[in-house]
Amino acid sequence: MKRFVLLILPAAVPTALVLGAAVTMGVAQSMGLTPVAGGPQSSLDAYSAVASSGELAPAVVISLSIALVATAIAIAVGFTTALAMTTTRFGSKVLKGLAISTIPIPHVIGAAAIGLLLADSGWLARLFGSTAGNWPQFVAGPWWAATIIEYAWKESAFIALVVAATLSRDADELAKTAAVLGAGPAARMRYVTMPLATPALILAGTLSFVYALGSFEVPWLLGRAYPEPLPVLAYRLFTSTDLEVRPQAFAVSMVTMAIALVIGVSALRLFRRQVVTA
Amino acid sequence: MRSRRPRRRLSNAGLGLVALAVAIIVASATLAPVAFAAPTPQASAWANIERTARGQTVSLWMWGGDPQGNAYVDNVLTAAAAKLGVTLARVPIADTKDALNRVLAEHQAGRTDGSVDLIWVNGDNFRTGVQAGIWKCGWADALPNIAYTAPGDPLLASDFGTPVRGCESPWHKAQFTFAYNAARVANPPTTMPALMTWVREHPGRFTYPAPPDFTGSVFMREALYATSGGYANVPASFTQSAYDRLTPALWTTLKRLRPALWRAGQTYPKDSTQLDQLFASGQVDFTMTYGPATLTALVAKGTFPRTTKVLTLKEGTVGNASFLAIPTTSAHFAAAQVVANLALSPEQQAIKADPRAWGQFTVLDVKHLPPAQAQAFANLPKSNVVPTYPVLARHANPELSASWIPKLDDGWRRQVLTGGE
């Protein structure tokens, strides 16, 4: 146990310092303690202002919805891909290569590419000879389709790799043993594969959910003017030429962080229970 | 007793600094006249600035959405700056607010070697910077090339109602302009109300960028002038009573326009770049810009349809000037001034005014330039798409004071974007 703690220190200490400084500054700015102009004054005005502006609630709803749908698709696609990776030759070569090559692409590049692909005057619309008005509104449309597709595409590769890594070691052997003992495909999936994969699915799913909740560039590029997801709202307030609005930007960021924390902690509890029962 | 030691040490350090400063001032005061037999004190001061500037690198933060502007800065202005020993590095940004935010953050952190040396700025961004005290001031009036501008030019003396006071040096003049595709708009409207009527009669063929985007915000001010019966009826400086009296008509008009906009007004382009893309791909029939001179090149390159025409409105459109400002966090004050002065020189202003280079209107008083330099402006090519600046600016409307802008942007969000009928 002691050695384990020592080993993670080089990673944990800088992370804690950077995160601690950022969160402290965020809290201080959201409470009006470091204004650009005028003297510091501690208050929760920024929180009540942003809550009463009627922008916060729709932002929370739209952010959670996008993250939920995108993560659900990513889990389904990622898990299936992981199964194919660990059980077929095609999967272990081609799919794994595809997933690995997806990881280093930054989300902002992915979002720009998805935009070029799916926009009304985009590549696919031209390929299908679609005239203005009859192409589905993926980009800037009411269902946030392009945003969700971008997250689902990037995160499914991530989930596939994480789950495949946990499955690859013993799943095949255990499944074979189970088969020898008379377990059919459904039983093997239920009693061997799922219990092995679930902890990894919970962790990877939580990471991608929290990422989708807090990321700015994808909904900003592919989304619509209203309602705004939390990070887009925070950014607009942060860049407002009205300096008195800046604390509100940090209030929105703190709210986003609180939601992410609640989700992270509950996922961790779920993860512990899974590991214990497994 | 414990608290005394550091305090004393501090005052020692302070004394040392003061002594050093005195020594430097005395030395420079005695050395300067020997080193430079300059004709006037200003010229010698400027020679000092040019000498200090040599070897420095200036980071110019500017909106990067105009490839021609980027090319002009990278190829022409940077080369001319290099001749003066200054390295010019352009930092492209999606919105001038990004540069402002960087400076504000560095200002809060107390940095004096900030990453921003020069910002292309005007309007509410300039005003916000003045409020936060992040601009170096008084330097722009002392630039040698400021002599070529018209004394008391109202567009250069105040920036959206904020007095300039030498805190920024003029770079371009601009005239807000609508452009349309003549192949699709047979009888173009000639007034703002007629344009609104056209929009309602042709659903889905018009939109504007969502304020607080710069261009969308200007469109909204044009609409405010129209619904108020002309700019003369809108007081230049913000008052709540004027806002309460004038904006209901504006919101009603824009809300009535909404169902006839692109995507039925359910969403809006994020910025003028997206609106230009919609226009270029034929999804809308109008676009709008605060830099109309760039239209010539966009048509020549085939980005915009060949039938693109500028819409001149009878009541005129708003005009402004944009500037270069130096933040207090810059460590390269001298070099930044040298670049600002260079950008203001008749040679650079004439190259920049050529639509093949960038096509930004000059801030200089061309009528009173020395003949050789005036000739460069007379030789500028004529455009088939864009009328000349005097024609465009014939009925120029003044900009509202910058204090209006956040209020109007905010009102638009509440009333038009999220508000019901």
Tens-digit pLDDT string for chain B (421 aa): 333 333 334 444 444 444 444 444 444 444 443 334 445 677 789 999 999 999 999 999 999 988 889 999 999 999 999 999 999 999 999 889 999 999 999 998 899 999 999 999 999 899 999 999 999 999 999 999 999 999 888 889 989 889 999 999 999 999 999 999 999 999 999 999 999 999 999 999 999 999 989 899 999 999 999 999 999 999 988 999 999 999 999 999 999 999 999 989 989 998 898 899 999 988 899 999 988 878 888 899 999 999 999 998 999 999 999 999 999 999 999 999 999 999 999 999 999 999 889 989 999 999 889 998 899 998 888 888 888 888 888 888 888 988 899 999 999 998 999 866 5
Contact B128 A236 (CB under 8 A): no
pLDDT of residue A226: 86
Same domain, B310 and B326: no
CA atoms within 13 A on the CB side of B126: 27
Indicate which of A241, A246, A248 best probes the interface with B, i.e. most B CBs within 10 Å of its own CB: A241
pLDDT at res. A54: 86
Q: What pLDDT was estimated at residue B40?
A: 67
pLDDT given at position B10: 40
DSSP letter, residue A95: I
Ramachandran area for residue A157 (φ above 0: left; ψ -120 to 50: alpha; else beta)? alpha
- Put simply, whether B127 touches A (Cβ < 8 Å) is yes
What are the residues of chain A with a beta carbon less than 8 Å away from any beta carbon of chain B?
A: 34, 36-37, 54, 120-121, 132-133, 137, 140-142, 220, 224-227, 236, 238-243
Residue B74 lies in a domain: yes
Coil, strand or helix: which one is B119? strand
What residues in chain A have per-residue pLDDT under 50?
A: none
In A, minimum Cα distance to B404 occurs at: A242
Tell me which DSSP letter residue A91 carries.
I
pLDDT of amino acid B30 = 40
B187/A contact by beta carbon, under 8 A: no
Residues B353 and B252 in one domain: no
Residue A50 is assigned to a structural domain of this protein:
no
**Residue B4 lies inside a defined structural domain of this protein:** no
CB contact under 8 A, B108 and A34: yes
In a domain, A175, yes or no: yes
Displacement of CA B91 from its chain's centroid (Å): 16
Provide, as residue numbers in chain A, all residues whose Cβ is less than 8 Å from the Cβ of B277. 121
Position B3 scores a pLDDT of 37
Residues of B with CB below 8 A from A121's CB? 277-278, 281-283
Structural contact between residues B181 and B279, judged by C-beta atoms closer than 8 angstroms = yes
Residue A103: the pLDDT is: 93
Question: Is residue A8 situated within a structural domain?
Answer: no
Distance from CA of A142 to the nearest CA of B (A): 8
Please indicate, yes or no, whether residues B274 and B295 belong to a single structural domain of this protein: yes
Residue A242 neighbours by CB under 8 Å, 6+ apart: B128, B406, B410
Q: Establish if B136 touches chain A: CB-CB under 8 angstroms.
A: no
In which domain, by residue range, is B82 found? Answer: 41-46+54-174+320-383
Q: Is residue A128 part of a domain?
A: no
Q: Assess if residue A212 is contained within a domain.
A: yes
Please judge whether A121 and B277 are an interchain contact, meaning their C-beta atoms are less than 8 angstroms apart: yes
Q: Does B9 fall in a domain?
A: no
| Residue B195 sits in the same domain as residue B231 | yes
Nearest CA in chain B to A222: B270
**B283 within 8 A of B262, measured Cβ to Cβ:** yes
Percent helix, strand, coil in chain A (nearest 5)? 80, 0, 20
Judgement on whether residues B119 and B222 belong to the same structural domain of the protein:
no
Of B95, B131, B133, the CB nearest to A239: B95
Q: Are A66 and A151 in contact (CB under 8 A)?
A: yes
Buried b or exposed e, range B243-253, using 16+ CB within 10 angstroms: beebbeebbeb
Q: Please give the residue of chain B at the shortest CA–CA distance from A33.
A: B108
Closest CA to B168 of B369, B393, B321: B321
B303 and B331 together in one domain = no
Euclidean distance between CA atoms B193 and B184, whole angstroms: 19
Q: Is B287 helix (H, G, I), strand (E, B) or coil?
A: strand
Q: What residues have CB less than 8 Å from B211, skipping those under 6 apart?
A: B217, B220, B408, B409, B412, B413
Residue of A254, A235, A255 lying closest to A245 (CA atoms): A235
Print the domain residue range for A169. Answer: 58-106+154-277
Among the partner-chain residues A34, A133, A226, the one whose CB lies closest to the CB of B418 is: A226
> B307: how many CB neighbours lie within 10 A of its CB?
13
Chain B residues inside the 8 Å CB shell of A34: 108
Paired tokens of A143: 């269902």
> What CATH number should be reported for the domain holding residue A169?
1.10.3720.10
- Domain with residue B273: its CATH number is 3.40.190.10
Q: Kindly state whether residue B22 falls inside one of the protein's structural domains.
A: no
Mark whether B121 and B217 lie in a shared domain.
Answer: no
- Contact across the interface for A240 and B125, Cβ inside 8 Å: no
Indicate the residue type of B309: K
Pair of tokens at residue A104: 């280093």
- What is the distance in angstroms between the Cα of A232 and the nearest Cα belonging to chain B? 12
How close is the nearest chain A Cα to the Cα of B233, in Å? 25
Q: How far is CA A248 from CA A98, A100, A210, B204, in A?
A: 41, 39, 21, 35
> One-letter amino acid identity for B321?
A
Report the gap between the CA of A69 and the closest CA in chain B (Å): 22
Residue of B nearest to A139 (CA): B267
| Rounded CA separation A263/A57 (Å) | 18
CB contact under 8 A, B268 and A37: no
Please state the domain count of chain B.
2
Q: A36 vs B266: CB contact, 8 Å cut-off?
A: no
A interface test, pick of B277, B329, B413, B414 with most A CB neighbours within 10 Å = B413
Q: Do B263 and A225 touch (CB under 8 A)?
A: no
How far apart CA B161 and CA B235 sit, in angstroms, is 11
Residue A193 falls inside a structural domain: yes
Establish if A97 belongs to a structural domain.
yes
Q: Tell me which chain A residue has its CA closest to the CA of residue B416.
A: A226
Test A239 with B283 for CB contact under 8 angstroms. Answer: no
| Residue ranges in A31-55 assigned as alpha helix (H) | 45-52
Put simply, whether B132 touches A (Cβ < 8 Å) is: yes
Rounded to a whole number of angstroms, the distance between the first and last alpha carbons of chain B is: 71
Give the model's pLDDT for residue B130: 94
Q: DSSP letters along B144-170, please?
A: GGGGGSPTT-HHHHEETTEE-TTSEEE
- How do B118-121 and B87-93 pair as beta strands? unpaired
The phi, psi pair for B321, rounded to 5°, reads -125, 155
Do B163 and B192 reside in the same domain of the chain? no
The 10s digit of each residue's pLDDT in A167-209 is 877 777 888 888 899 888 898 888 888 988 999 999 999 999 9
Looking at the structure, do residues B150 and B292 belong to the same domain, yes or no?
Answer: no
Give the Cα separation of B48 and B58 in Å (integer).
17
CB B267 to CB A224 under 8 A?
A: yes
Q: Chain A: residue nearest B262 by CA?
A: A133
**CB-defined contacts A:B, below 8 A:** 65
Q: For chain A, report the end-to-end CA distance as a whole number of angstroms.
A: 22
Same domain, yes or no: B102 and B221: no
B97–A132 CB contact, under 8 Å: no
B311 and B354 together in one domain: no
B127, B277, B282 member nearest A132 (Cβ): B282
Question: Distance between CA B338 and CA B83 in Å, rounded?
Answer: 11
- pLDDT number for residue A46: 92
The per-residue pLDDT for B100 is: 93
Claim to verify: residue B64 and residue B138 sit in the same structural domain? yes
Residue B292 is predicted with a pLDDT of 87
A37·B132 Cβ contact <8 A: yes
Domain count, chain A: 1
Do the chains contact at A241 and B127, CB–CB below 8 Å?
yes
Is residue A208 assigned to a domain? yes
Residue among B252, B190, B212 nearest B395 (CA): B190
